[in-house]
Structure 1
Amino acid sequence: MTSHTDADLLALAARLAEEAAEIIRTIRARGFETLTKTDASPVTEADHAAEAHILKGLRSAVPDIPVIAEEEVASGLRGAVSPSYWLVDPLDGTREFAAGRDDFTVNIGLVRDGRAVLGAMALPAYHQLYTGGINAPAERRDRTGVHRIHTRTPPAEGLSVLASRHYADDPRLAAYLGERRIASIGNIGSAVKFARVAEGAVDFYPRLGPTMEWDTAAPQAIVEAAGGHITQLDGTSLLYGKPDWKNPPFLCTGTL
């Protein structure tokens, strides 16, 4: 790859995310084994195959941009913060995937100077691809074509909220939402929640439990390109390059 423009990098990430999504669909169709990592989280053949494909594509096309990827980190390759780097989650929502549900994603994001500047996120089960960045509009590509997307202004009846399936009974969530006008609350897994905020299907995704930088970089770039915001609980931006790649709690909101 001779050019490093953001448009070129986003096109590369989008292509690799779509190709990884096809790998995941193929493995899902023929069956797979679910294993447990040392941190007690699940991993499958699809995680490893999708990551291997993405890493090969990124490192061959732009070898000067380091890649931090979930399964490599889990294997002990920690990586280091640099001015620019890719963050890859080859299968965000492995629990959903392993359980036969549809809410899982492929996330490829680029960080520059601590900020998520572009991202591609594929939703394999839905045949959807979301892209966006600081210099690129937020778009959804699906079987009907390419659509520009934007967050919405919350309706008068209240916020539509999506929260994590695995923290549905977290008392902190009920306490946090207690003073807000809420129209509905749903619970699903993975970064699909970001996509639904970005396209204006829901208004609010509060994340009070743990996440890693590769979970959020690509979705954050897309949500912000769509007019939304991802902030820490104190209102400051969610930034990147943190120790051990761990995120603090954050709020994903649509148009304020």
Structure 2
Amino acid sequence: MLAVFERLALAAGREVMRVFRAGCAVDSKLDSSPVTEADRESEKIILAGLRAAFPEIPCVAEEEASAGILAPDLGDAFFLIDPLDGTKEFVNRRTDFTVNIALVRHGVPEIGVVFAPCTGRFFSGRPGKAEAIEINDYEIVDRQPISARAGMVPLTVVASRSHNTPETDAYIRALGAAEIVSVGSSLKFCLLAGAEADVYPRFGRTMEWDTAAGDAVLRAAGGMTRTLDGAPLAYGKRNQSDDEDFANPHFIASGKAAGPA
């Protein structure tokens, strides 16, 4: 399954970069968030590939979900797809947007890939094994195992480039962090997984397709993502009393040693 994820992420990333170089119109969805041809074409590639390879597993993809296209029952396992995580980065011609594909099983992000086609950074994770993948012309040429580190003191904190909040700033001040790394998209999880940072606090809105793939890579590398009450962040949340389907609560992602939650 991971090999299929990797192949589809590379194919989708190639299409994203075609649109990035050519330029495209930017539309707004009902929630006022941006969407582009790159989002739509990337999602088509990924969904076609997943549904051909695994027709029995439901797919939850950002653009289909925005259009109200969802399986009535997700069962014990389903795919979560964000065809272009960091659309704001993409639109603003920044480089840290990603293609995200994940398998969720029993509420846990179990397998995931995160591909940043503009920079070539590519990460994968499955239970007990996380890797940084080297590519050349959209072909995999090498793999290196990665592992989240025990938190260094003072901690290095990774924060959202486009969605920072006063709560996040207050949390970072309380940690006394020595360095703050600002990056967009699910690469934040991958920096933790690859021992480049220690903590990623998120006190802003996210959806499950934003986080599942990066979270899978982080957990495979020995880290964890927890809600503010300390419980592991769960997936497949529907019929929530206080928010829409698949919306995440605030969370703290960390390497092998967490900061205070």
Give the TM-score taking structure 1 as reference length: 0.92
Structure 1 residue 106 and structure 2 residue 102: aligned? no
Structure 1 residue 167 and structure 2 residue 151: aligned? no
Question: Using the alignment, how far apart are the partners of 2:210 and 2:174 within structure 1?
Answer: 28
One-letter amino acid of the counterpart of residue 91, structure 2: A
- Indicate the SS of the match to 1:211: coil
**1:179 Cα offset (Å):** 2.6
Contact 1:73 1:79 in 2 (8 A): no
Structure 1 residue 29 and structure 2 residue 12: aligned? no
Aligned residues: 245
Question: Using the alignment, how far apart are the partners of 2:168 and 2:214 within structure 1?
Answer: 21
* Cα deviation code 1:23-50 (max 9, x no counterpart): 1111111111111111100001000000
Match of 2:242?
none
One-letter amino acid of the counterpart of residue 123, structure 1: A
1:77-156 equivalent positions in 2, closer than 5 A: 77-80=69-72, 81-134=74-127, 136-143=128-135, 145-156=142-153
Match of 2:246?
245
Match of 1:210 among 201, 205, 209: 205
Where do 4+ consecutive residues of structure 1 move more than 4 Å? Answer: none
Match of 1:59 among 51, 54, 68: 51
CA RMSD in angstroms, aligned pairs only = 1.3
Match of 2:35?
43
Match of 1:72 among 43, 64, 67: 64
Question: Using the alignment, how far apart are the partners of 2:82 and 2:197 within structure 1?
Answer: 23
**1:106 Cα offset (Å):** 0.5
* Cα deviation code 1:127-147 (max 9, x no counterpart): 12211122x510011247211
Structure 1 residue 255 and structure 2 residue 248: aligned? no
Question: Using the alignment, how far apart are the partners of 2:107 and 2:39 within structure 1?
Answer: 26
Match of 1:17 among 6, 9, 13: 9
Match of 2:183 among 182, 188, 191: 188
**1:190 Cα offset (Å):** 1.0
Q: Identity of paired residues, percent? A: 42
Q: Where does the alignment leave 5 or more consecutive residues of structure 2 unmatched?
A: 136-140, 239-244
**1:18 Cα offset (Å):** 1.1
Question: Using the alignment, how far apart are the partners of 1:105 and 1:96 within structure 2?
Answer: 10
Match of 1:200?
195
**1:166 Cα offset (Å):** 2.4
One-letter amino acid of the counterpart of residue 218, structure 2: V
**1:115 Cα offset (Å):** 0.9
**1:176 Cα offset (Å):** 1.9
Contact 1:18 1:129 in 2 (8 A): no
Question: Using the alignment, how far apart are the partners of 1:125 and 1:142 within structure 2?
Answer: 13
Question: Using the alignment, how far apart are the partners of 1:163 and 1:233 within structure 2?
Answer: 17
Contact 1:128 1:142 in 2 (8 A): yes
One-letter amino acid of the counterpart of residue 34, structure 2: P
One-letter amino acid of the counterpart of residue 124, structure 1: P
**1:187 Cα offset (Å):** 2.2
Q: Where does the alignment leave 5 or more consecutive residues of structure 1 unmatched?
A: 1-8
